[in-house]
Copies of this chain bind each other. A is one copy, B any other.
Amino acid sequence: MNSSRRYTLTLSCPDRVGIVAAVSGFFARHGGWIVEASYHADEATGRFFMRQEILADSLPFTLEEMCEKFAAVAQEFGMQWQVQDSARKMRLVVLVSKQDHCLNDLLHRWRSGELEVDIPCVISNHEDLRSFVEWHGIPYHHVPMEDKAEAFAKIEKLYVQYDGDTMVLARFMQILPPELCRKFAGHVINIHHSFLPSFMGAKPYHQAFERGVKLIGATCHYVTADLDAGPIIEQDIVRIDHGDTVDDMVRYGRDIEKTVLARGLRYHVESRVLICENKTVVFK
């Protein structure tokens, strides 16, 4: 964790010889100091994925100039690419319902400086968590869910007004309309309280209890129009046994949910997650 300014370049392109040489050569020619570099060649799709973290001060030009110059390299290889500037914090709009364990965890990571993001607002379909959120100096918007179409229109409007980069469904418990999922593909992150693809949909801990599994889990994933079927970013599990009731599972599950969401979100915020069809490449 170095606090100096960094540019993080992420890209994908058809795989062939010379990509790394071209990209690292580009930065080396300009004295660019690469602090982290990761690659992945995906056999199934034939695409190459790459992430480079460069010290901004090591380069002799501005971000705009860098992008202008790099465009030539990118074009040669047919790259899809973007650069994240650590000087501009990602803006997370957090959606919650009544359960606050994930929210409590995220806000602590935010206020302690561990998670370097802005949280311009929190949106909820209930009033319950207002006081806690406002204690942090963060605006709280109550959007009732009686009329779902209206509610989601309002949520989208708030997200845009607050200049959100990512919507975080921190146990929001509401299904987003498909068109919203499509519009913000790769920008909506959910935490599902099961080890997907097991136990999709409602009441996963009840489903797990009925099946008699010996481990339960949680999954952080990008939201798509297919419920609980989007690209998985992170998962983890906890051991249970025959003595555990559904309530015990819910309790254990909370710890897994907040950890998995925090890890997944961190990868996303640091541009470590690249989407490859319905899967993810996560450069840890």
Contacts and interface: CB of A to CB of B under 8 A. Distances in A.
A212 B112 contact: no
A237 B31 CA distance: 40
Tallying the copies of this chain within the complex gives 4
A270 interface: no
A81 interface: no
Interface in A239-267: 241-243, 245, 247-248, 251, 254-255, 259, 262
Contacts of A43: 245
B108 A112 contact: no
Contact of A20 (B20, B276, B280): B20
B245 A232 contact: no
Interface in A84-130: 100-101, 104-105, 108, 112, 114
A58 interface: yes
Given A20-B24, A20-B34, A212 B231 contact: yes
A47 to B, nearest CB: 12
A17 B247 contact: no
A6 to B, nearest CB: 14
A108 B114 contact: no
A46 interface: no
Interface of A: 1, 17-18, 20-22, 24-25, 27-29, 31-35, 37, 39-43, 58, 100-101, 104-105, 108, 112, 114, 132, 135, 195-199, 211-215, 217, 231-237, 241-243, 245, 247-248, 251, 254-255, 259, 262, 276, 278-282, 284
16 contacts: A1-B245, A1-B248, A20-B24, A21-B21, A21-B25, A24-B24, A25-B25, A42-B242, A104-B104, A197-B213, A212-B231, A212-B232, A213-B235, A214-B234, A241-B282, A241-B284
